[in-house]
Amino acid sequence: MLKTVPRFKVNIDYEKCIKCGRCSENCTYGAITFDREQDKPLVKNNANCVSCQRCVLFCPKEAINISQYPVTYAPHGTWMPYYIRAINEQAETGGVLLSGMGNDMSYPMVFDYLVWDACQVTNPAIDALREPVETRTYLGRKSKNLHISEIEGKFELEDLPPNVVLSTPIVIGHMSLGSISYNAITAMYRAVKEVGTLMGTGEGGLHRDHYQFRSNLIGEVASGRFGVNSEYLECAALEIKIGQGAKPGHGGQLPGEKVNKLISETRGIPLGTDALSPNPQHDIYSIEDLKTLIAALHEASEYKVPVGVKIAAVNNVAAIASGIVRAGADFITIDGFRGGTGAAPRVIRDNAGIPIELAVAAVDQHLTEEGIRHEVTILAGGTLRSSSDLIKIIALGADVGMIATAPLIALGCKVCQQCPTGKCSWGIATSDPILAQRVDIEYGARRVVNLLRAWTHDLEEVLGTMGIDAVESFVGNRDRLRYLGPNPKEAEILGVKHAGDRLKLGSCAS
Amino acid sequence: MSLQEVKKITIDAKPKGNNLHYKELNKQIRDALRDGHNWIVVENVSGQRYIGAGIKEKVTIEIFGDVGLDLGAFSEGLTIIVHGNSEYLLGNTLNEGELVVYGDSWDITGMGARGGRIFVMGNGGSRVGIHMKEFKDKKPAIIYGGKVKQYCGEYMAGGLILVLGLNFKDAVIDTKKPIGRDNIDPLKVKDIEGEIVQSDLGGGMHGGAIYIRGEVPDEYLGVYATKKGFTEEDKIIITPIVERFCELFNVPPELVWGKKFTKIVPVSHRPFGKQYVTTPI
């Protein structure tokens, strides 16, 4: 094999090293091994190091650091190391390059061009520490009209569509058992249960141990239909997966080597078989077909739970979303092009789709113009890095923000993008039961709870400064945002005024 | 059923000459279940969708008329007998049970099924049995008496599909009566002339097996599907299913066994294993 220069270099300071072997025990990628003869850990292969930082953080003596491999590339603005390495790998294997997590290319981040408003003099701010700021949100279809009937002098509301109450407008996105470990998924299921919000099951079915969390889960029905049984249909909500932000139009496959006993039980497939999800759902080739699956799920769940549809943010996302509302979906989940994945072809992950900020603004405005925005709940994610991204996506038109990479980071993820290898040294993106033990369920759940609560507090504080006492009145409130970026066209699509834009004489403040 | 007392109820899907909406029809079926009925006869069905969707009680629904999409979808343990035809998606994501159609059933029958058996007397459309799976004793089976179209068994991950190539056209004794076992003349069931499958058979399959009665031209095989010799062991595997078919549709078993089966299996359980590279870039 023609070699390329390793990306990272592992440096062990043997003056500090006590030869405890924790680094080599923890390294799952084969970069460090413990040499019995020399009785010390050795850097076996720098090329295997992915900078997951496991060894660095587990060394009791701070004797290890990882640096970028100290080599100076011949300067070139076009043929950068990334491209040379990719060509080398494909020339060697002839395969499609897979990667994990979200898009790692440096596209401009629209969130970073947005700032928000605050109350000054003319409208009072709310003191969120002492006054209530409501973060409760309802997921599901909203009635156009309320039908009230009078029976013997008593008034009764007629059939309202089912809605799920969320204590905060943050849900954890879909990640399936198999793409992440039993311990990682259990920690997050526990966290959403404690906080009173939802998490998506992903398409990998639901393990028996996790039935107890169903009132906090969105059961995903994807093209593979893994694990969709009658117990599964009792989740708090159901969601038809059409697309994923990291790989719009692409299905998925859990490679056979990850399909161990636990996974095969949960998905209902034999050990060691590839779990393949076709690119399309073969019963859905049109909006009309989508309507039939939505209706089938409504029937199968006896109209007790909302049924939604998840799509990737693509060029005509607004028109597609409109079709989905008309097909009878109770909620729409939109996943932006930076959204994460357990495995996706790099070429798709890094190039397909559009940013979530633009997609949500387009969908919200389009549905509002068509007079159907109020009928559905919009969930949006991929990638919300912080509470500020969450706040901005709500102002741009999402009812609920969806996070997934953030809670994984709370569990220990260092975003090294090795998810498809199944070797995750932090025990997160692996189906290996031994590696999974590296996630402490109790402690992990606590950290995810803390994260969800901290972002919720951030939201309350910010809403307070804007004088808004309920997050539902902030949804789509683009007027409280201002654009501070290079491209006026972008501001126009977002429906956001440029910072400093004056109120015209004679108009009134909103 | 034999140990249990039969509690039968009849629902008219077209009361006073108006077709019931599927929501109302399904509601009446569920109400009947709640009242303890275990044999629900539905008459005058005319294309209503989603009948029996998501029901997990082990009861029988007997239907007279042609049913719409998604009959028995997501169900788990139902016995459904249709004296008529079925539209697309019969037994979509079926988990358990026995679905019997005395007629044709068109595209995507048994999509993603994980258990149960689907018996269709007549013909099918494309993508029959797509993405069926199996796990331990949960092994779904789809049996078509007639012929099917393209992409049969596509992406199949487990279970069995049988296509028998039988023609029941002249075997119906009284065409004015609903088709059932008693209305089929076993001596008049014939073989279909010509091909009984079409192209892309088993494309992308990575589990399970497809048994076609008669020869299958090589060019009909989909990617990653291959022919394998039909052995005595295979005969043992499909015998109970064939026998049940013969019992349901009043077909002499000798007729079915009179022609040799072709067995189609996946080339590998990991057809796309070499397609992808996970080396960090």
* CATH number assigned to the domain comprising residue B38: 2.160.20.60
The answer as to whether B99 is a domain residue is: yes
Name chain A contacts of B271, Cβ cutoff 8 Å.
274, 276
Which of the four pLDDT bands, split at 50, 70 and 90, describes residue B39? very high
Check A256 against B270: CB less than 8 A apart.
Answer: yes
Check B157 against A417: CB less than 8 A apart.
Answer: no
Residue type at position B119: F
A29-53 tens-digit pLDDT: 999 999 999 999 999 999 999 999 9
Structural domain boundaries enclosing B42: 8-266
A8-17 tens-digit pLDDT: 999 999 999 9
Indicate if the pLDDT at residue B1 is higher than 70.
Answer: no
Show the 3-state SS of chain B: CCCCCCCEEEEECCHHHCCCCHHHHHHHHHHHHHCCCCEEEEEEEECCCCCCCCCCCCCEEEEEEEECCCCCCCCEEEEEEEECCECCCCCCCCCEEEEEECCCECCCCCCCCCCCEEEECCCCCCCCCCCCCCECCECCEEEECCCCCCCCCCCCEEEEEEECCEECCCCECCCCCCCCHHHECHHHCEECCCCCCCCCECCCCCEEEEEEECCCCHHHECCCEEEECCCHHHHHHHHHHHHHHHHHHCCCHHHHHCCCEEEEEECCCCCCCCCEECCCC
List the single range of A2-11, B63-72, B122-131 with lowest mean pLDDT: A2-11
**b/e string for B110-131 if b means 16 or more Cβ within 10 A?**
bbbbbbbbbbbbbbbbbbbbbb
What pLDDT was estimated at residue A293? Answer: 95
What pLDDT was estimated at residue A503? Answer: 76
Mean pLDDT of chain A: 94
A302-350 tens-digit pLDDT: 999 999 999 999 999 999 999 999 999 999 999 999 999 999 999 999 9
Which of the four pLDDT bands, split at 50, 70 and 90, describes residue B128? very high
B151-206 tens-digit pLDDT: 999 999 999 999 999 999 999 999 999 999 999 999 999 999 999 999 999 999 99
Backbone φ, ψ for residue A65 (5° rounding): -135, 160
ipTM: 0.93
Average pLDDT over residues A65-74: 93
CA distances from A336 to A103, A167, A241, A264 (A): 10, 24, 14, 30
Same domain, A52 and A171: no
Check A269 against B276: CB less than 8 A apart.
Answer: no
Check B281 against A346: CB less than 8 A apart.
Answer: yes
The answer as to whether B277 is a domain residue is: no
Same domain, A342 and A462: yes
Check A273 against B207: CB less than 8 A apart.
Answer: yes
Q: What DSSP string describes A415-459?
A: ----GGGT--TTSSS---HHHHTTS-HHHHHHHHHHHHHHHHHHH
Q: Are strands B261-266 and B225-228 parallel, antiparallel or unpaired?
A: antiparallel
- For residue A177, the domain's CATH number is 3.20.20.70
Picking from A274, A276, A292, the nearest residue to B69 by CB comes out as A292
Residue A305, class by beta-carbon neighbours within 10 Å (0-12 exposed, 13-18 middle, 19+ buried)? buried
Indicate if the pLDDT at residue B269 is higher than 90.
Answer: no
SS3 assignment, position A358 = helix
- Percentage of residues in chain B having pLDDT higher than 90: 92
Q: B246 to chain A nearest CA, in Å? A: 30
The answer as to whether A498 is a domain residue is: no
Q: A354 to chain B nearest CA, in Å? A: 23
Which of the four pLDDT bands, split at 50, 70 and 90, describes residue A230? confident
Indicate if the pLDDT at residue A507 is higher than 70.
Answer: no
What pLDDT was estimated at residue A229? Answer: 87
What pLDDT was estimated at residue B195? Answer: 93
Q: Which two tokens stand for residue A13?
A: 């300071």
Same domain, A221 and A299: yes
Question: Which residues on neighbouring strands pair with residue A335, listed in sequence order?
Answer: A312, A381
As for how many domains chain B has, the answer is 1
Which of the four pLDDT bands, split at 50, 70 and 90, describes residue B280? confident
Higher-confidence residue of A144 and B252: namely B252
As for how many domains chain A has, the answer is 2
**Alpha-helical runs (H) found in A308-386:** 317-326, 346-349, 356-369
Same domain, A230 and A295: yes
Check A299 against B26: CB less than 8 A apart.
Answer: yes
The answer as to whether B84 is a domain residue is: yes
Is B204 an 8 Å CB contact of chain A?
Answer: yes
Name chain A contacts of B30, Cβ cutoff 8 Å.
302
The structure's pTM equals 0.94
Indicate if the pLDDT at residue A117 is higher than 80.
Answer: yes
Q: Which two tokens stand for residue A40?
A: 């010390």
The answer as to whether A485 is a domain residue is: no
Find the closest chain A residue to B131 by CA distance: A224
Indicate if the pLDDT at residue A443 is higher than 80.
Answer: yes
If we measure between CA atoms, which residue out of A179, A213, A175 comes closest to residue A193? Answer: A213
The answer as to whether B252 is a domain residue is: yes
The answer as to whether A506 is a domain residue is: no
The answer as to whether B91 is a domain residue is: yes
Find the closest chain A residue to B89 by CA distance: A283
Residues 6+ apart with CB under 8 A from A209: A186
DSSP code for A180 = B
- Percentage of residues in chain A having pLDDT higher than 90: 82
The answer as to whether A505 is a domain residue is: no
Same domain, A256 and A401: yes
Average pLDDT over residues B241-261: 96
Name chain A contacts of B27, Cβ cutoff 8 Å.
none
The answer as to whether A143 is a domain residue is: yes
Indicate if the pLDDT at residue A508 is higher than 90.
Answer: no
Indicate if the pLDDT at residue B137 is higher than 60.
Answer: yes
What pLDDT was estimated at residue B3? Answer: 64
Is B111 an 8 Å CB contact of chain A?
Answer: yes
Q: Which two tokens stand for residue A500?
A: 């400093």
Structural domain boundaries enclosing A294: 137-473
Same domain, A299 and A435: yes
Q: A21 to chain B nearest CA, in Å? A: 25
Same domain, A89 and A182: no
The answer as to whether B90 is a domain residue is: yes
Which of the four pLDDT bands, split at 50, 70 and 90, describes residue A509? low
Place of tokens 């290319």: A105
Residue type at position A292: T
Indicate if the pLDDT at residue A506 is higher than 80.
Answer: no
Name chain A contacts of B127, Cβ cutoff 8 Å.
282
Q: Are strands A154-157 and A148-151 parallel, antiparallel or unpaired?
A: antiparallel
Mean pLDDT of chain B: 94
Phi-psi region of A277 (alpha: psi -120 to 50; beta: other; left: phi over 0): beta
Check A230 against B54: CB less than 8 A apart.
Answer: yes
Same domain, A292 and A413: yes
Same domain, A174 and A89: no
- For residue A63, the domain's CATH number is 3.30.70.20
Indicate if the pLDDT at residue A510 is higher than 90.
Answer: no
Residue type at position A348: I
What pLDDT was estimated at residue A151? Answer: 86
Residue type at position A220: E
What pLDDT was estimated at residue B85? Answer: 97
Same domain, A155 and A70: no
The answer as to whether B24 is a domain residue is: yes
What pLDDT was estimated at residue A502? Answer: 83
A79-103 tens-digit pLDDT: 998 899 999 999 999 999 999 999 9
What pLDDT was estimated at residue A256? Answer: 82
What is the spatial distance between Cα B156 and Cα B202, in angstroms, rounded to a whole number? 7
Residue type at position A356: I
Same domain, A243 and A349: yes
Q: A99 to chain B nearest CA, in Å? A: 7
Name chain A contacts of B208, Cβ cutoff 8 Å.
none
The answer as to whether A201 is a domain residue is: yes
Name chain A contacts of B114, Cβ cutoff 8 Å.
225, 228-229, 268
- Percentage of residues in chain A having pLDDT higher than 70: 99
A252-280 tens-digit pLDDT: 878 888 889 999 888 888 888 888 888 88
Average pLDDT over residues A207-235: 93
List the single range of A104-113, A424-433, B12-21, B262-271 with lowest mean pLDDT: B262-271
Residues 6+ apart with CB under 8 A from B50: A295, A296, A299, A300, B22, B26, B68, B69, B70, B71, B73
Indicate if the pLDDT at residue B95 is higher than 90.
Answer: yes
Q: B133 to chain A nearest CA, in Å? A: 6
What pLDDT was estimated at residue A429? Answer: 96
Those of residues 39-78 in B touching chain A at CB distance below 8 A are 49-50, 53-54, 56, 69-70, 73-76
What pLDDT was estimated at residue B248? Answer: 97
Higher-confidence residue of B281 and A14: namely A14
Count of beta carbons in the 10 Å neighbourhood of residue A328:
19
The answer as to whether B170 is a domain residue is: yes
Same domain, A310 and A430: yes
